[in-house]
Amino acid sequence: MKWKFWQKETDGNKKKKTKTREWVDAIVFAVVAATIIRVFFIEAYTIPSGSMERSLLIGDFLFVSKVNYGARIPMTPVAFPFAHHTMPITGTKAYWDGVQWQYRRLPGLSEIKRNDIVVFNLPVGDTVALENQETSYYTLLRQSDWKAVNSQYTITSRPVDKRENIIKRCIGISGDVVSMKNGVVSINGKQELLKNTGQMPYKIETKTTDINFDVFKDLGFRIGEMQQVNANTYVANGTEEMAQKLRKLDFIKSAELFVKPPSVNDGDLFPLDTNRKWNVDNFGPVKIPAKGWTVKIDSNTMPLYYRAIRTYEGNKVEQRNNVWYINDKVATSYTFKMNYYWMMGDNRHNSIDSRYWGFLPEDHVVGKALFIWMSWDSTASLLNKIRWGRLLRGIH
């Protein structure tokens, strides 16, 4: 009886929560729960560019799984909820880099496989010119010089997990040897033809100038993006399947891949080595570093692996009198601490990918693209903005 009296008296002394307090508690709980889900399980992502067409379109809204490859423990834990690297209104940093944790990842369901579509932090996004984020800081330096770029723009550095998120297809995994010849990728010496989900430019020659362009549209070509070379020649992005159908038409003379010859040097491609005359359709071979793999250090390999050894794996690297030093010790070889990957866009001639910035380190991997939950065409009429056929569509 005494215990019941005491319990009744205590219950009566409890203060009832106000409506404001109830709302605050609910909001805090929702933010914490949503943050945990976003960090460790699944996150929404929007396709911002056409680099993955025809697989993914601008305006596709995806869900990205953190579970498949294992959730990455936040490396910059003090951050504003739901903001990535910049506050939406003020434009200031959405994180505090005064606390930095080492890279760790929870166990995942699988490793990254070839042809997986992966969301990751842009490796060359470590340094950014805030007023011109469309162009890589390192590209700006090559176009001008350090003094001019740093006086013209506000330059900031970003931790690994706060670098820009982008999405590409994994072409090669750690240990693979990747190359490309006349627009066709080879992995470990075996050609990997572009699937119908990707596209390349085709040079189309017609027998007449009197053309019904609706035929091209019906086959999937975008009329507005077709470039006319002369009266009977056009260049258009498409798939090999589309080109095969085109060749069967009586007014088509030819439809062949339109790629750069090996003799053309693009100049601004990885690894920015003057001895390698590579372009977007012809490069390599390049061996992708794997954890535990040891590379011989010399003038041939260092242009390829310098940034990985120095920037991604955190070593002091310098050359003195033609001798390489790592952490102030003479180095003739180096053993990698992480796995790396080679990423490329399905829209091969409209993608800034590993051909430009090199290897993707494993600590930059965010997650695997699962499915499209919404697709919005901002260029269409109001009644046709939702692409109904793409809703809840899996990604392959």
Are 289 and 359 spatial neighbours (Cβ–Cβ below 8 Å)? yes
- pLDDT score for 6: 47
pLDDT in tens, 257-309: 999 999 888 888 999 888 898 999 999 999 999 999 999 999 999 999 999 99
Residues of the chain with pLDDT under 50: 1-3, 5-6, 8-9
pLDDT at 167: 96
The pLDDT assigned to 14 comes to 59
Query: Which are the contacts of 315, defined by CB distance < 8 A and separation ≥ 6?
Result: 309, 326, 327
Q: What is the pLDDT of residues 158-189, one digit of tens each?
A: 999 999 999 999 999 999 999 999 999 999 99
Domains, the chain, in order of start with CATH, read 200-257 (3.30.70)
Q: What is the pLDDT, as a whole number, of residue 382?
A: 85
Cα three-residue angle 183-187-189, rounded to 5 degrees: 95
Asked if 64 and 119 touch (Cβ cutoff 8 Å), the reply is yes
The predicted pLDDT at position 5 comes to 45
Q: Which residue has the tokens 């992480």?
A: 338
Task: Give me the pLDDT at residue 25, please.
Answer: 86
* CA distance readout (Å), 224 to 14, 49, 60: 70, 17, 21
CA distance 389 to 394: 12
